[in-house]
Amino acid sequence: MTGAEVLDVARDAIWTIVIVSLPLLLVGLVVGVAISLVQALTQIQEQTLVFVPKILAIFVTLLLALPFMADALHGQMMRISSRIIAG
């Protein structure tokens, strides 16, 4: 493999990681900001209050986005294996 092909595979892998992790990160961000806003409005400063809703929201999102994530990872594996087969 040439240097350009290695960079292409690395860029494609990084892009796949971003696409796969984006739904979970966005849900975590939105839930965290919403809970922080509620804490600021009610002046409840309990630091552990954020974790349970965030974990539940990320778990539900993981269940819903798992087919999409598996398809993206499968596509990445097919691209890599086709490069390996092509030489």
Average pLDDT over the chain, rounded to an integer: 92
Does this model's pTM top 0.85?
no
**45: confidence class by pLDDT, cuts 50, 70, 90:** confident
State the virtual CA torsion across 74, 78, 80, 82 in degrees, nearest 10: 180
Give which of 75, 71, 58, 76 is closest to 22, Cα–Cα. Answer: 58
Query: Which residue type does 57 have?
Result: A
Domain boundaries, the chain: 3-86
> What is the tally of helices (H) and strands (E) in the chain?
2, 0
> What pLDDT, on a 0 to 100 scale, did the predictor assign at position 47?
78
Average pLDDT over residues 43-49: 81
Q: What percent of the chain has pLDDT over 70?
A: 100
